[in-house]
Chain A
């Protein structure tokens, strides 16, 4: 793995499989009564969230803490960022405070790339979702979940058929998943109305279809993407009802999956819009499991990015105050 994790394309097949294997190992450990590992003692991990995303933030916090890192969470709301502080000044502040890793969520595509390559900070950068670009740890946790159900929790995903449905145009989850699942040997089909597919999508390493039923037939997994209501106002589709009829996952459609096929969603869901409640809560759904797997996969990413290097040996005392809040243990 390179120094940072900015894109799912940063990962080779061997690296991706190694992360999934590490996550599986960490999952076994978290079955114990004492879940904590000393691996990142004395290291500081900063959660830098310019966008609200409670679930991703909590997942990264839990992952870092189980590895005994000091965790600082910096959310845009109520901080100097909301007072107009630039990405650069925020980064310089974090650098001055000695962050070993910065987990960044930002509304602008490429912001983590900018942080990693601008010379503003020395620490490792992990992309926790940037604009409409990528969300590589989501793809890793999805791959982990797929592997668990479809490949006995081992190796890669060769030959498995995965259908990703919805707002691909604005989805960082879709971009990262197409890249990673392809790296792992899966066959991916994107299904969306043409308005919600980016120009040039034909060149992506996947199939494209407008016909949800046809794409679903015999597939091993379907991943539903969140569709935001404001897309309707921008005329991407005529109405939520029409969207739901053509691209929503209901019980009938879910039954088209192969035996043992699973239903996934990165959350948060719009029940009744892209997915019916019956399917979301149904037997094929692994949506809650995805959340659990997220912690293990993020532990594995931090472990592999930071664990190899020796810590400074300093004490793990919290050293920060002011507008920073040290996340509660």
Chain B
């Protein structure tokens, strides 16, 4: 079976025709020169941009446990529409993904759904309780081959436990992805702590609660010679600390979410829990700092923190609302609007931040690869100029808690291809 993707521009460069067979790219020829035989499939690239398929390091698929909010099938369908060919399913399910059994189940359900690769993230501690290490080695050795471990949603706040985790995963080249949040400094916290939280009467989540944990963990990682990954950093101070550590050679990688690239705390004025997220939306200055960090490489990747919630968990007063927002289908348009449009990231850099680097952090061998002969045909075609309006009723996600409701977005995913098999064609599930 041979497929041709005709008239696409890899990394926004010269237009080509890409031909693949058995999931691997067999030929790349100047546009209009591919030899199409009877029976070959043809995907029209319309002269648009092709990149390696996006890889999300931070996805909540809610299965097992909260299938009313999202399932592995519905969440990965949403991921494919967002241009993702691999997602990392966070461990805070019920039961928690803290054993080989649960992570293998999640992995298998991902294979069955088939919309994109599902790589489970293993819990660092049993039940996310922060008391003793989960069987990290068993998860690493399982069919799911877990390499990223995180108690996301909860911080591994005990410094000794964090140190042990950082050390322990070295034997299978794993990485701890820290949700940096000092628990005592954020008890009952509802939004970014600053002038606005005082006016709105909402308990503040101070930047120092994030920054202090990041600083500690970078020093710990340096001390024990481990790599560490910082989830969803959100403040200028965090960017500065990571930049400082990278200059000193600490093996740290960091992610920023699309919503922290574009939204600010002012949305809390609505008291609408659609805008309630952890870490909270920050100030305009913090937004500028994470954009700078993503542009200069201090922040390695964009990760969605896609967090579906059932309607009743958002249709309530702010304090009762759940933390988190949808992100998979709006990630690329946000990067387009905040980074590519203003000229802060070129297409090669988008490929790096959204595909190549996350794949490397997760140690995925067949994702985030170059668009070249012999490489997997795992690709996304994006239209940087398409305009569309966010409408959750058109999404396969079971939840509707997007912060971009009814907002016009610029930039759309047209085709997504996973190892030669289209998962999305012309913006619809294949």
A residues in contact (CB < 8 Å) with B: 86-88, 106-111, 113-114, 117-118, 130-134, 172, 175, 198-201, 203-204
Question: Does B197 lie within 8 Å of A199, measured CB to CB?
Answer: yes
**Is A88 a contact of B204 with CB atoms below 8 Å?**
no
Q: A110-B271, A130-B201, A199-B204 are in contact. List 19 more A-B contacts (CB 8 A).
A: A88-B315, A108-B319, A108-B320, A109-B200, A109-B202, A110-B318, A110-B319, A113-B271, A114-B318, A117-B271, A117-B272, A131-B201, A133-B200, A198-B198, A198-B204, A199-B193, A199-B195, A199-B206, A201-B198
Hey, which chain A residues are within 8 Å of B31, CB to CB?
Answer: none
Q: Give Cα distance in the complex from A201 to B319, angstroms.
A: 22
Closest B residue to A120 by beta carbon equals B315
A109-B271, A113-B271 known; A175+B316 contact, CB < 8 A: no
Report the minimum CB–CB distance from B87 to chain A (whole Å): 32
* Contact assessment for A199 and B194 in the assembled complex, using a CB-CB cutoff below 8 Å: yes
Q: Which residues of B come within 8 Å of A, CB atoms?
A: 190, 193-204, 206, 270-272, 312, 315-320
Determine the chain B residues whose CB is within 8 A of the CB of A108 once the complex forms: 317-320
Q: In the assembly, what is the distance between CA of A131 and CA of B202, in Å? A: 8
In the complex, the answer to whether A87 meets B316 with C-beta atoms within 8 Å is yes
| Alpha-carbon distance A107/B197, docked complex (angstroms) | 16
Q: How far is A198 from B194 in the complex, measured between Cα atoms in Å?
A: 8
Name the B residues within 8 Å of A204 (CB-CB): 198-199
- By beta carbon, the residue of chain B nearest A168 is B198
Asked if B201 and A106 sit within 8 Å, CB to CB, the answer is: no
Nearest B-chain residue to A178, judged by Cβ: B199
Taking CB as reference atom, which chain A residue is nearest B202?
A: A109
Question: Given the known A-B contacts A110-B202, A114-B271, are A198 and B197 also in contact in the complex, defined by CB atoms under 8 Å?
Answer: yes
Residue contacts A-B, CB under 8 angstroms, 18 given: A87-B316, A87-B320, A107-B319, A108-B320, A109-B271, A109-B319, A110-B202, A111-B271, A114-B318, A117-B271, A175-B201, A199-B195, A199-B197, A199-B204, A200-B194, A200-B197, A200-B198, A204-B198
Q: Are A132 and B271 within 8 A (Cβ)?
A: no
Q: How far is the CA of A239 from the CA of B204 in the complex (A)?
A: 24
Nearest A residue to B319 by beta-carbon distance?
A108
Which residues does chain B contribute within 8 Å of A111, judged by CB atoms? 271, 317-319
Cβ–Cβ contact B201 & A172, under 8 A: yes
Query: Once the chains bind, are A109 and B195 in contact (CB under 8 Å)?
Result: no
Most buried by A among B195, B200, B272, B317: B317
B315 cross-chain contacts in A, Cβ below 8 A: 86, 88, 118
Nearest Cβ distance between residue B215 and chain A, in whole angstroms?
Answer: 20
Question: Is B317 a contact of A87 with CB atoms below 8 Å?
Answer: yes
What residue of chain A has the Cβ atom nearest to residue B195's Cβ? A200
6 nearest A-B pairs in the assembled complex, by CB-CB distance: A110-B271, A133-B201, A200-B195, A198-B198, A109-B201, A108-B319
- Docked-complex contact B200 and A110, CB < 8 angstroms: yes
C-alpha gap A200/B315 in the complex (Å): 29
